[in-house]
Structures are given as structure tokens and as C-alpha cells.
Amino acid sequence: MDVGFIGLGTMGLGMAKNVVGGGHTVVGYDTNPEAVAQHARNGGRAASSAGEAALEVDLLITMLPNGAIVEDVLFGSGAAVDNLKAGALVVDMSTIHPLETDRIRQRLAELGHSMVDAPLGRTSRDAVAGTSLIMAGGTPGDLGTCRPVFECIGDTIIDCGGPGTGSRVKIVNNFMTTTLNVLTAETLRLAESIGLDLDTAIEVMSGTPAVRSHMTTTYPAKVLKGDLTPAFMIDLAKKDLDIAIDLAAKQGVPLTMGDAAAGLSQGPGRRPRQAGLDGALRPLAQDDELSRRASVCSHATPCPSPSAVGRRTCRQKARQKHLQYCRASLDYGDCRSAKRRRRPRIGGPGGSAAGDEKRRPSVE
């Protein structure tokens, strides 16, 4: 098959090489001339423009950073569609917004061309090894046309259910993987901060839904079968979550995902604390996260004290202390009552509290 390939980057270069290896002719283009040169060394043909990569091909594959670039390459400055022969199929394997996918499909249809959205799962290593997972969205006929090329690129090809579904499932997938990555970072940071051996903690969690995932254990066993009867009471789950948040607060470890989860189970009228990717990942990379978080908390979050006097006192006397109390009081309750609370010291497993205190960061 004659294939045009636009976007020879981290993913595309290896993918194109594997398509060449499958016996297809691959005309490759990238704005980076070195990538095009490498494609030629890999046995492909070099194109000097997107339009040239589209000439006389049966399939035109795009593997580009975002939807705006895909659109520009096809219809804008690249004008690749102008050179497509009748019946040529466009296969966008980039990760883009599904509504952009729909618009591109519509524009191609108006010009008489079909489109398959087929983003990749897994990693750049898999792209090089030809072991990617392909989430294919297209008509059965178009997917059949793509199959010989897809088989060079991946070892798992999933028909996601029609045009646009590949792009959609990719975003759902990446929502979960990115969120879980933040949660993983927080979890390991918490484990480390309370003196746990990470290998042991990972071994333990690998035997529970923490790592085995609710998606493949509890949901198919129960929820997805329509069984919504309680199995683990929310109050008990909340108790455990609150303990983790308390431990983390005492160790100075921000748990933004934990805060968000606790906020969801608090019901209306109670707000989760600041949540976000930045707050979760940054503590692994730098130590000043707490001070950044402190300024976020004390400036952007209103003091939870019910009275004006309490609020003024908090602001004037001890902004930093206030933050600590807020963090230690699990529900953002009145900082004055939290102040009266005595917080126990945390001893690591098997170690003396005094010795461990030296190693651990503390908000005390």
C-alpha cells in the first residue's frame, strides 16, 4: 500500500519505520528536516512538504501534536487534501479534541474523503517496537482498509464503535491515566514521608484494588452488573481517607487528590481544599511546594472562622499557623478549635519517634 505519513516525531518516526518494515511504501514529511532524513535512512521516501506526502497515496496518516496543526496541515498552509487522489483515506493518529475530529471528518467528507480517527495507547517505546494499542474509530470498511498498516504499528487493534469513537476513548483513557499518575505520586510521597519502605508498600498495594484497579475488579464484579448495594460503607472509607489526609498534613505532604475525594464525600456546602495537577506533582520535584501552597491557601481561601474577629485574628496574628491549623483540621473547620486540639506525633513503623522526627519534614 502507498502511505503518506506526516509528523515524524517521538511517535511517528518509529511508527513510519514499522510500516516500511511491513512492506509498504511510506512517503514521510515533518517540519524538522532531520526527522525526514532519518525516515529516509529507515527506508522511507522523503517528502519536502505535506502536500508531497499526500500525492498518490492510499492512506494519509497524521501523527501531530494537536488538532489545530492537523487541520492546518490538511486544509491550511499544508493543503495536503488538495493532492489526495479520489478514494484516499485520511487516518489521524494524533491525540486531539473529539470535536476537532468531528469537524475534520466533516470537512474531509465535503471533499469526498473518508477519515479514521485512530489514536495510540501505550508509550513511545511501544511505538518503536510496533506494540502500540490502536483505538480505531471508523466505518467497518475503512477500518478494513487500514488494518494491514495498523498491524505494522500495533499488536492490539480495537474497533471502538464507529467514526469519532477512537478520539473519544483516547481522551477518556488519558483522563484516567493522567489522574492516576497524580494519585500515584501523592501516594508514594505519603508512604515515603511516614518512613515506609516503598518496595514493601508497592507489594502490598499490588495485592489490593489500589493497584489492581477498581476498573478491573470491583466495578465489573458488582457496580457494572447493576448491583448498587453498599459493600464498604462510605463512612468507613471516609474515616480512612481522613486518617491519610491527617497523616499527610502532619508530615507536610499535600494530598490534592485526597482533598478532592474527601470534598466529594462531604456533600453540599463543604468545599474540598485546593486541587490540581500542579499541587500533586510538584512536591516530588521541589521542596518549596508547601510555601507555595501556603500562599494559595491563605490568600485565595477565605478564613473559615465564623466570626469577623476570628478572621481578623487569624490574619493578623499568625497566617502561617492558621494555615497549619487549617491543614490539620480535616474539614476546614474553625481554626480556633483546631488550635486547642493536641496533635500526636507520628512514629514510623519500627522506629523511634525521636529518631524518625529528624528525617521527616514536619509542619509543627
Q: Is the Cβ of residue 88 or residue 338 nearer to ligand NAD in the bound state?
A: 88
- What is the C-alpha separation between 164 and 118, in angstroms, rounded? 9
- What is the C-alpha separation between 37 and 35, in angstroms, rounded? 5
- Tell me which of 17, 85, 170, 225 is the catalytic residue: 170
Cell of 221: 464484579
Q: Is the Cβ of residue 65 or residue 351 nearer to ligand NAD in the bound state?
A: 65
Binding to ligand NAD by CB under 6 A, coded x per residue (else -) over 31-70, reads: xx--x--------------x------------xxx---x-
Do 120 and 11 touch, CB atoms closer than 8 A? yes
The reply to whether 152 sits near ligand NAD by the rule CB under 6 A is no
Do 80 and 74 touch, CB atoms closer than 8 A? yes
Nearest-approach distance from CB 273 to ligand NAD, in angstroms: 31
Is 170 designated active site? yes
Q: Please pick, from the candidates 124, 173, 179, 266, the single residue that binds ligand NAD as defined by CB under 6 A.
A: 124
- What is the C-alpha separation between 137 and 75, in angstroms, rounded? 21
The reply to whether 73 sits near ligand NAD by the rule CB under 6 A is yes
Q: Is the Cβ of residue 63 or residue 143 nearer to ligand NAD in the bound state?
A: 63
The reply to whether 260 sits near ligand NAD by the rule CB under 6 A is no
Q: Is the Cβ of residue 12 or residue 252 nearer to ligand NAD in the bound state?
A: 12
User: Contacts from 104-108 at CB under 8 Å and sequence distance 24+?
Assistant: 104/67, 104/70, 104/71, 104/74, 105/163, 105/164, 107/71, 107/74, 107/75, 108/74, 108/81
Cell of 65: 501534536
CA distances from 42 to 19, 228, 303, 337 (A): 10, 54, 62, 69
Q: Please pick, from the candidates 94, 145, 251, 324, the single residue that binds ligand NAD as defined by CB under 6 A.
A: 94
Contact region for ligand NAD (CB under 6 A) — 16-24, 26-34, 143-151, 280-288? 26-34
Q: Please pick, from the candidates 123, 177, 216, 295, the single residue that binds ligand NAD as defined by CB under 6 A.
A: 123
The reply to whether 10 sits near ligand NAD by the rule CB under 6 A is yes
Do 113 and 86 touch, CB atoms closer than 8 A? no
Q: Is the Cβ of residue 79 or residue 201 nearer to ligand NAD in the bound state?
A: 79
- What is the C-alpha separation between 27 and 40, in angstroms, rounded? 9
Secondary structure E strands in the chain: 2-6, 25-29, 45-46, 59-62, 89-92, 115-117, 120-121, 132-136, 154-159
Q: Please pick, from the candidates 47, 120, 191, 326, the single residue that binds ligand NAD as defined by CB under 6 A.
A: 120
Q: Is the Cβ of residue 160 or residue 330 nearer to ligand NAD in the bound state?
A: 160
Nearest-approach distance from CB 217 to ligand NAD, in angstroms: 26
Contact region for ligand NAD (CB under 6 A) — 5-13, 149-157, 245-253, 324-332? 5-13
Burial (Cβ within 10 Å: 0-12, 13-18, ≥19) of residue 291: exposed
Nearest-approach distance from CB 94 to ligand NAD, in angstroms: 4
Closest CA to 28 of 67, 58, 54: 54
The reply to whether 7 sits near ligand NAD by the rule CB under 6 A is yes
What is the DSSP secondary-structure string of 175-227? HHHHHHHHHHHHHHHHHHHTT--HHHHHHHHHTSHHHH-TTTTHHHHTGGGT-
The reply to whether 9 sits near ligand NAD by the rule CB under 6 A is yes
Contact region for ligand NAD (CB under 6 A) — 1-9, 80-88, 228-236, 280-288? 1-9
Q: Is the Cβ of residue 65 or residue 144 nearer to ligand NAD in the bound state?
A: 65
Contact region for ligand NAD (CB under 6 A) — 24-32, 196-204, 236-244, 268-276? 24-32
Nearest-approach distance from CB 68 to ligand NAD, in angstroms: 10
Do 272 and 264 touch, CB atoms closer than 8 A? yes
Closest CA to 7 of 77, 85, 87, 93: 93
**Applying CB under 6 A, which residues contact ligand NAD?**
6-12, 29-32, 35, 50, 63-65, 69, 73, 94-95, 120, 123-124
Which of the residues are catalytic? 170
